[in-house]
Amino acid sequence: MGNAQCNSKKVLSVTELDAWKDLLKHHQSISNTSIPELFYNDPGRFETFHKSLEGLTLDYSKQRITTQTIEKLCTLARACDLENWRDQMFEGVHVNTTENRAVLHTALRNKDLKSLEVEDKDIVPEIKAAYKKMENFTTKIRAEGKFSRVVNIGIGGSDLGPHMVAEALKPFSDPNIKVHYVSNVDSSHLLETFKTINPAKTLFIITSKTFTTQETMCNAHTARKLMQKALGKDDVGEHFVAATQNIEEAEKFGITEEHIFPIWDWVGGRYSLWSAIGLSFCIAIGFDNFQKLLDGAYTMDKHFRNAPLEENIPVLLALIGIWNRNFEGSESLGIIPYDQYLYFLPSHMQQLDMESNGKSVTRYGTPITDYKTGPIVLGQTGTDAQHAFFQSVHQGTEIIPCDFIFSLKSQKPAAGHHYKLLANAIAQSKALMEGQSHDNPHKVFSGSRPSNTIVIEELDPYNLGLLMVMYEHKIFVQGIIWNINSFDQHGVELGKVIANQILHDLGDNDCKNAEPSKMDSSTAALIEMIKKTR
């Protein structure tokens, strides 16, 4: 498949579109209407403003929107050619325009896909072969009982997504296998993990698309040295496997070809947990549960591709975000899961959203000066979040829309706990919406603060797939409307380049070829402080 067809079109700034201007007028017309008023005028508002798909429900009734708002937002989406961009992504057109790549994490989940060509090559046989290799390997590891610990060494998308899934699906994991995640190049992360394992019964998975990522490879080499010292021999082939595109570098590290699991150019890092990057949690939960995760994801993929925009859950979630960001003026988004097993979901969502849509130029390289793009994502599990930053959410000067997420069933029920948890989740959305009048100004809550409530039947592999892919597609939709490429991350690179220059200045032997850094007074002073500690 070639370049995105839309790439050849001259595109107006989204603010110049009639649909955007119409939304501005509409926003002005309801600017004095509160969310409680909307409920007063329509007591059955929930029926109009909720959508369900199998085990997932999105309640967006506590937003300051009307049916007209949704109609006009859908008109905007069509004016931005959303449906065409969506179809092109699924078909393997290069919608990652800045890097001239297809974006096909959706193909990994499509069990009905017969063939799909990328660069004149059918990728479906490769996907099936990779999954078969994962299935055989995970089944063998779980059956043999040779390893009681798995340590995933990665960073970014090779850590946050898999770590989140491993924690979320802990009730489905083999109790005899504990999975650890090491990402920080701070040696404390690896060394503290190493203290908790039995080296002879530990499998390391090096997850790096390029197998050159500085933090990951530094940790990988140190882990290899620690293992050699602990075991008294170089046993890389027995205790290390890799998920990578760079087979040559993995083999140089000492990993045999049978223990190298492929990933591809057309899978971006923060969308890669569906591939062999998810090998760590696949070992923990078993390939059958991994397949159920894929099945839930595929159900949401089909819904996203086929449902009309007005009925489309990821599209509606995205458009509500556009409304809050660009018309209501909200700068942040709270992701608040009321489920301890979703502890790492806010971190995963920070990367997914902020790395995708934290951009200030269009996909054509034009500076964005007249509208805002991706929000600042923050979050924590409820009820801890209530005792951390909800003071600001309820009474602060910034309006922070929130997504409240909970499961109807608990994976670990104990008398009284789950109802208290869910009562708090529902109460927070109600309190944000209704507010409170009081004679004491310190106890006044302004109310009319927006939130979504996302309900899943239970946190199992299938429903987790539904939930995660809903957010993936939401972010894609917002990128299309903001006219940015959601699939590159050049903002990650500059700091890495400068870090290599500073390492050169510090005398690091691995950076002999790096150019010296440009010395402003602060940088020079900080480098000298570090040098003195040697």
For residues 151-190, one letter each, b for 16 or more C-beta atoms within 10 angstroms of the residue's C-beta and e for the rest, the string is bbbbbbbbbbbbbbbbbbbbebbbeebbbbbbbebeeebb
Return the biggest CA–CA distance within the chain: 75
CA dihedral 29, 35, 36, 41 (to 10 degrees): 50
Identity (one letter) of the amino acid at 512? K
Give the angle subtended at the CA of 270 by the CAs of 268 and 271, to the nearest 5°. 65
The token pair at 420 is 């208290």
The rounded distance, in Å, linking the Cα atoms of 154 and 213 is 9
The sign of the dihedral angle between the CA atoms of 66, 68, 69, 70 is positive
The token pair at 104 is 């096909």
The rounded distance, in Å, linking the Cα atoms of 529 and 521 is 12
**Cα–Cα distances in Å, from 480 out to 6, 364, 371, 484?**
11, 12, 14, 6
Task: Give the residue from 355, 364, 481 showing the smallest Cα distance to 97.
Answer: 364
**Strands (DSSP E) found in 167-300:** 178-182, 202-207, 240-244, 260-262
| Contact indicator for 368, 482 with CB cutoff of 8 Å | yes
The rounded distance, in Å, linking the Cα atoms of 60 and 404 is 11
Identity (one letter) of the amino acid at 267? V
Catalytic residue annotation: 355, 387, 496
The token pair at 6 is 């839309």
The token pair at 387 is 């005792």
Residue reference for tokens 């060494």: 153
Residue 124's region, left for phi above 0, alpha for psi from -120 to 50, else beta, is: alpha
Residue reference for tokens 């660069």: 119
The rounded distance, in Å, linking the Cα atoms of 31 and 253 is 61
The rounded distance, in Å, linking the Cα atoms of 108 and 131 is 9
